[in-house]
Each structure stands twice: as C-alpha cells, then as structure tokens.
Structure 1
Amino acid sequence: MMSAIKIGDSLKHIQPIIGRLVPLPTVQELHPTLEDAEAFVAEIDIKSANKVVKLLDSKFPRDPSLNLAYLRRFAKREHLPDHLKQPQEENGLSEPTSNRAKTIHVLISPPLPDRAELATLLAPHTTTSTGSILSDGAEAPSSAVQLRSTRIPLQPPTSLEQAQQWSRKYWPTVYNPAAQPASHSPPPTILSRTQASIKPPAGFYLALARKLAEEAEQSGRGRAVGAVVVDPAILESSLDEPLSAVVAAAGDSRYHDPNQRSPPPAAPNEPTTTNNSDDQPYHPDSEGQPSDHALMRVISLISHKRLTIPPAASTSNPPNPQPDPPQNPKPLPPEAQPLLHPPLSPLESHFFNTANLSPPSGGGYLCTSLDVYVTHEPCLCCAMGMLLSRFRTVVVGRRARGSELASLDAERGYGLHWRRELNWRAMGFEFVEEGVEDEDEDGGASDGFGFHA
C-alpha cells in the first residue's frame, strides 16, 4: 500500500484538464409545455384604470398561487391580438377614433367571476359620453361594458421570441429571465455565480476523477469511470489548495471480485487501455450493480465516512491536503456496518480518512451543498441517487449523447438533474475539453461511450 506521503506527492503532479464549463439545459427549457386558461378582457375609461384595479382586487381576489406578472394588466387597442380587435367590427359597430384614445383594455385573470356581475361592476367605468356608430352612420345607444374572452398562458415565457408570439396570440406578454420559477430552470444569478466559482478548479477535479478512473480500469476492478466530491465551502476559503476540499473520491468497481481476474468486456465506442483482442460484446446484465458505479460508490463512501470519521471542526480552517498518516477509523457496532464496499485503493482511502466532512445540513441528507465531478454522464440509477443525496452541482466530463444512457440530456434523454416533477434539483454542467468538441461535431469516438456509467 502506498503511504500517505507518496500519495500526496503523486497528487502534486496532477495537471488540470483545459476546457470550459457549459451549463446543461433543463427539460422545461428545451421542451416547454403550455398550460393556459380562460380570461376576460374589458374596455374601460382610461381615467378609471386605477379605480378598476382596486375594485377588481377587492371584489374578485386573484389566485395567489398564480404569478401572472409577465402579463400586462392593461393594453391599448393597437397592442391587442387580432381576435380581440375584431368583435366590434364583426357586429357592425365601430367606435369613433376619439373614443378609442380615451379607453384602455383590462385583463381579468382566473378565477373568473360571473359575467353579469362583472359587467355590472365595470359599467360605471366605461366611456359613455359618445355612443357607438353603426355601419350605416346612425348612432347607437351606449350599452353595458363588453366582455371578451381570450386564453392566457399560466407560465412565463422562456424567451423574447415566445413572449412576442404570445402577445400576438393571447395577450401582451413581457419576457423577464428572472421571472422563471425555480422549478423551470436554475435562477440565472445563482447559475452564473456557481459557474464562476467552480470554473477555476473544475479541470483539476476532473483530472483527479480521471486518475481514479484509470486506476479502476488498470487494476481490473471496473471501467474507466471516476467521481470526486468537493465541499465548495472549504474550496472558497482555500482556493490555492483544491485538494483540501475533496471529501471523497471513488472509481468504478463493477468487476471487483477477488476470486476472478478476467479482462472486462469492451463497451461500444469506448477505447480501452488493456488492448484485449478477445473483448466480448457488451452486456449490461454482466456489468454488476449500479451500487458498483463510481458515483454510487462515492456516495456510499461519504455515508461510511460520516459514521466512522470525526467531522471537520470548521470549514473556515481547511485541513492540510497532505495530512499525517491517518488513524484507523473507530469501529462500528455490527448493526451499523455499511453494506457497500469500503475504499478499494490507496487514493480512495487517502480522501476517505481525511477529516474534512462537515456535519450534514438541510434535513440530514448525505451530500447537501456538495459538488460532484464525474468523468462520464451517470446512468439513471446513479443520477437518481445523486438527487436523493442532495448534491448542489454535478459536472460531467463525457456525455452519453442521447440514448437510454443519457440521464442528464434534456434534449434526447431524461434531464434528471433539473425536472420540475422532482423534489430536488442539481445544477448541471458539462466540461468541454479543449480540442474535443470538434470530434463530437464530426461524430467521432468521443460522441457517447456506450455503457452505463
């Protein structure tokens, strides 16, 4: 076994991968679903606009669960969609131009009141000084306020183009990127702030994950997949020592069997370092369990670490990245022994035995506020395990590129990192390595990897 000093020396030589971070889009952004409802539109005297708003809000309170701030409360006739301009003309009525300048249209959103009651309420606030003019030139007597119906979207637009389309089809709509609900996509300010904070060390942590992946493959324990978990609070206070923020690290172990040392089967589109000419066809059923995948293993190690290693005293004083040889973990009673594998390599043990894991927060979940860096896009089971553990951020090095393997691909896969149906969401990023994106565009070997990671 390598000593802690030798491991520390080997970690010094890790060279960060050069590349850029790209936020992963969400399913809601790429595949928006429109929910709409009926609303009323009434034409009122422009001088009564404020009175009408107060009257409507007091008499017919709006649904507090519906945030419709992206819909204009009032609109002039020239800004209305065509179907709201036509009724008067189709009925043979045309309002004098002088009157149109004195009126404005108000939107009454759901829950909708009784039509007759609403018309009676608004009647005193219509323009009555001049009657309407019939198509033959005769004057028609003024009547009660006209209520027209339209459909309105119940979610804010996701782009300026969509807002313009809705303005032409439903009702004048305003696009505000900050108005999106958190279930739709990460708030832009939080996303950009997170991206800026993890951008400098991302290449280093993925290089460390790649080292774990190579170790797993060369030892025959598993595929070339690695995962590294980082505490961003420690990283923020120790930017010059990124290793001090690593709370756990693991490689794949799907072939780990002390009694069997046969070469692993090859996966489609995945280069290997074993150069085995007798590679067998890829069969997912012979690839072990998801609990042997790198991401699930690193979650298991964090769980085991919380039970056996004393928690860090404070994130304001990060530990030395090259600590003294660690003490043996305290023994656990038999009923508390974890069922999954302990660390399988000196490198995994090095980070496992470092006492830098802060007590859990946010209801006691394993990985609240932690970030995970994985060499490959995780499989569906691992992605769900990531969400259930409450990670803050996931950074992937290689994407599955659209298939049943694409757990985070919101366009052709599942986009599990941020779905409004789930009760937890993690900000997702792809690390695009310099010089690799061209291969992806040309459909090269880097486009997907063909196995469950």
Structure 2
Amino acid sequence: MPPSVGSSRTTTASTAGTETYLHHKHAHNHHQRHHISLSSSLSAPGGAIVSGVPGALGSGKSHLLANSSARSFVQVKLPHERQELELVDVWATLIPARIASSVISHIRQELPNDPHSLLHLRRLVKETDLNQQDGVHKTSEHVFLHLLICSIDAVPSEDEIRRTLQPMTELAAAKINDRRLFVPVIRKAPKYPALTKQLSKEWSIGTWPIMWRGNPNAIISELPSEDELLYRKNIENLLQLTEKARNDGEIPIATLIVDPITCETVASAVDTRNSSNNPLAHSTMACIAKVADNERLRRQCEVATRDGTTEQLPQAYLCHNLQLITTHEPCAMCSMAMVHSRISRLVYIKNMPRSGGIDRSSGAGYGIHWSKQLNWRFEAWKWEGQDILLYDIGEAINA
C-alpha cells in the first residue's frame, strides 16, 4: 500500500530518525513513515504515521488527483543576491544611427571577450530609454544613438576604446559636427538579467536599459495546470516506488525522469546504497545512468540499421529538455549531475535542510540550480500542497 495523503499544508519537517538507515539499514521494520507535518496524526499498523484525516489510509491517489485544480507546487527561487539590482560599469558612446551595424560589427571583431554577459542589455539606446538629456540628438538630417561597447572589466583603458573607435569616425559624414560622437563615456548597467518584466522596467530606470524578450528562466508564479496534473500522477508512482524500496530493505528515495512533451517516463530508479554497498548509488544518479544506457542502446540500434555506414550520430546532452521528479531534495552531487546532463526542470516533495543542494536554506546554501558559477541552470519546484506521507530517512542523509 503506497503512503497516504493528509490534508494540512506542508510546513515543517520532523527530525526524528536521523541517520536511522546509516545504523540500522537492515531493520527496516523499525523505520517510520514520515508525515512532513505532524500537528495532527494517528499511529497506524506497521510503524506508519498517517494524517488524522478520515479515509487517508490507502487512498493517497484519490486525495492527490481529486484536488488537481489546486496549485500545489512553488518554485525554489534564486539565491537572494540575484534578486537585487547589481550594477556594472560599461563603456558607451554616441554614434550616427545610419552606421550602427558597421560600428557594432567592428567592435565585435576588435575587442576581447567580455567577462560579463551583457546579452540582456540593449545594444543601441534611444534618448527616452536612457533618460538622459544628452542622449539621442535628432535634427532634420541626422539621428544619433547611444551604443553599448563593453564592460570596463573587458577594456579598462579609455585610450584603447578610443583607438578601437577611431576607424569608425571615417564612416561618419564630414558635415556631421558633434563633439560627442565616438567619445567613450562610463555608464551604469544592470549586471544580471531581471527575473520578471516588471523588474526589468524598474532596473532600467536611471541605468542602461534591459532588453526584455521573455526570460525563459524567469520565476513564474505557478505551473501550468497540465504540468501540475502530470507531476501529481508521477508523485503517485514515486510513492509506490518508495514502498517497494522499503520492503526490499533500501532507503525509500525514488526518482523519475519524464519527457514533458510526450508525458512518458523515460527512466525510474530507487536508492540502492544498502544492497549495492555503494554510497554513491543515489536514485537520481541511477536514473540518469538509465537514461545513458537507453541512449547508448538507441544509438547502437540506429547504427546497425544504417547498412554498414560509419556516419557519426549527432551528439547531444544526455537529459536535455527532460524533467526530473524525486521524493527528496537532491544532494550537491546529484544536483551537479543534473547540471552536467542538462535537466530542464526539477520537481521534489521534501526539503532536506541538512544535505540538500537546491534550496538556499539547505545544506551549505549552494542553490546549484541557479549558481552563477556554473554553465547551466534549471528550474526547481517543490511540493507545497497536501501533506504527503514519506518514510523518514533522516535529514542528514544525502538524497
């Protein structure tokens, strides 16, 4: 019988049973089924703790799916410093609008790679956008625009910027007489992209404007209803997997990887640290490994049907655009595995305050899903709906 579902909101986590599996991994009959909020609970046969809601035992699936219209997931937001405006100094100059494309092409070839990603900023800015009285200068003949050149960290020397711009002055008509043309000036610009369109507008006031075209990694207030329903159904599968894992003497942590387009489960796995005696045999790692095995077999089959051709198959990141659903907040190792395999979204049920690698209040506060030191980011969502009964594994265990 899979763990059941209560009715109160998930708010706290019990610390009872910490490291139970580390010291008594074979005595699984003594483990408790852990209700995330124990404010109203009843003892049940088999050492389970269940919600004090009539009909909760044995009816987890009906409880989850019957309330599918309610929003039950919240996004694990970015680290705090990425929600505040942080500025960087940039070089800018005034150029004739008619040669803007030539100037941009020239500086891209001449200047070194910028240590800051400025792709979220507008390259060319009008007077109204910059909110500067010395911004765009328009006469009956000419239109001037402000151009973002690069950050000061990329080119600290003003003389070097002037030398780079010098060839461009020859493209300007001789009759244009404006002393501000091609003179580098320092401006303040938002260092990071804004999370929302409204925040983008606020950060652009008095600074170099942000170009908002819809941020695919922006925080959204809620999941689409079809995603909610998909994850609720998959949580039911996770609960059944944890039940089987416990009965087999394993740590009851389970993971699924799903294709959001087809809604099919690509791989599933449970934690096998106990039976394998391998401390790295986490369910997330095993699930990603299964995706790798499936991909290897697919490529072998495809090569075998190509009539002996040796043409290389296209290489892609292992889990690109796939989503991972798991019972517990992944540890730092599993979170990094999701980065390397390019998981697009993580969904989990229970925070792991002492060992998690996602929530900024968990573990060492890594927030790996949106670390500015890494080259991939993914969404992270956690369950915040009805209480779900999970077996207590102890907060110190790396999930």
TM-score tier (shorter)? 0.5 to 0.7
CA distance in structure 2 between the partners assigned to 1:290 and 1:426 by the alignment: 23
How far, CA to CA, are the matches of 2:132 and 2:374 in structure 1? 37
Q: 1:56 to 1:100 in 2, by over 3 A?
A: closer
Q: Which residue does 2:242 correspond to in 1? A: 213
Cα pair distance change 1:246/1:57, threshold 3 Å: closer
Task: Output one character per residue of 1:176-203: Cα deviation in whole Å (capped at 9) or x when no partner.
Answer: 252x4x6xx2697xx98x8554221211
Cα distance per residue 1:32-61 (max 9 Å; x no partner)? 75443222358xxxxxxxxx2114543564
Aligned to 1:428: 380
* Structure 1 residue 125: Cα displacement: 3.6
Q: 1:30 aligns with which of 83, 89, 97?
A: 83
Matched, 1:298 2:287: yes
Residue 295 of structure 1 contacts residue 382 of structure 1 at CA under 8 Å; is this kept in 2? Answer: yes
3-state DSSP of counterpart to 2:237: helix
C-alpha distance 31-165 of structure 1, shift in aligned 2 (>3 A): closer
**SS of equivalent residue, structure 1 residue 414:** coil
Matched with 2:97 is: 53
Of 251, 256, 279, which aligns to 2:275?
256
Matched, 1:149 2:189: no
Q: Rate the CA distance shift 1:195–1:416 in 2: closer, same or farther, 3 A.
A: farther
Distance, in Å, in 1 between the alignment partners of 2:267 and 2:356 is 25
CA, structure 1 residues 63+312, in 2 after alignment: closer, same or farther (shift >3 Å)?
same
- Structure scoring higher RCO (CA < 8 A, sep ≥ 6) equals 2
Quick check: 2:269–2:283 contact (8 Å CA) kept in 1? yes
Note if contact 2:120-2:212 (Cα within 8 Å) is conserved in structure 1. no
- What SS does the corresponding residue of 1:256 show, helix, strand or coil? helix
Asked whether the 8 Å contact 2:123–2:148 carries over to 1, the reply is: no
**129, 132, 135: which one aligns with 1:80:** 132
Q: Does 1:228 align with 2:218?
A: no
Give the Cα separation in 1 of the matches to 2:60 and 2:298: 27
Match of 2:205 in 1: 167
| 1:40 equivalent in alignment to 2:93 | yes
Residue 398 of structure 1 and its aligned partner are, at CA, apart by: 1.4
Normalized against structure 1, the TM-score is what?
0.50
Counterpart-to-counterpart distance in 1, 2:100 and 2:397: 59
Give 1:380 deviation, angstroms.
Answer: 1.1
Structure 2 CA distance for aligned equivalents of residues 78 and 205 of structure 1: 48
Return the offset for 1:228.
1.9
Structure 2 stretches of 5 or more lacking a match?
A: 1-57, 151-160, 303-312
- The 1:254–1:163 alpha-carbon spacing in structure 2 relative to 1, beyond 3 Å, is same
- Listed as ranges, the gaps of 5+ residues in structure 1 are 1-10, 43-51, 86-98, 128-143, 236-244, 258-286, 314-360, 437-445
1:176: which partner in 2? 212
Q: Deviations over 1:106-162 (max 9, x none)?
A: 4233164448888895884458xxxxxxxxxxxxxxxx4485723242654445456
Q: CA deviation at 1:399?
A: 2.1
1:108 maps to: 147
Rounded to whole Å, the distance in 2 between the matches of 1:208 and 1:382 is 20
Deviations 1:249-298 (A, max 9, x none): 222222227xxxxxxxxxxxxxxxxxxxxxxxxxxxxx95122x121222
Instruction: Judging by fraction of residues, say which structure has more helix.
Output: 1
Which of 322, 347, 356 pairs up with 1:406?
356
**Do the aligned partners of 2:250 and 2:272 also contact (CA within 8 Å) in 1?**
yes
Whether contact under 8 Å (1:232, 1:370) holds in the other structure is yes
For residues 382 and 83 of structure 2, the distance between their equivalents in structure 1, rounded to whole angstroms, comes to 16
Amino acid at match of 1:246: T
Q: 1: distance between equivalents of 2:269 and 2:249?
A: 14
1:121-140 to 2 correspondences below 5 Å: 124-125=175-176
Q: Which amino acid aligns with 1:211?
A: Q
The 3-state SS of whatever aligns with 2:339 is: helix
Partner AA of 1:205 in structure 2: N
RMSD of aligned residue pairs (Cα, Å): 4.8
Aligned residue in 1 for 2:233: 204
TM-score of the aligned structures, taking structure 2 as reference length: 0.56
1:20 aligns with 2:58: no
* CA shift in 2, pair 1:122/1:187, >3 Å: farther
How far 1:376 moved relative to its partner?
0.5
For residue 379 of structure 1, report the CA deviation from its aligned partner: 0.8
Answer with 1 or 2: which has the greater Rg. Answer: 1
* SS of the residue 2:205 aligns to: helix
- CA 1:376–1:209: 2 relative to 1, 3 Å: same
What is the count of residue pairs matched by the alignment? 295
Name the counterpart of 2:395: 449
- Name the aligned partner's letter for residue 185 of structure 2: S
Structure (1/2) with the larger strand percentage: 2
Q: 1:211 to 1:54 in 2, by over 3 A?
A: same
Residue 452 (structure 1) shift: 1.0
How many angstroms apart in 2 are the aligned matches of 1:305 and 1:423? 25
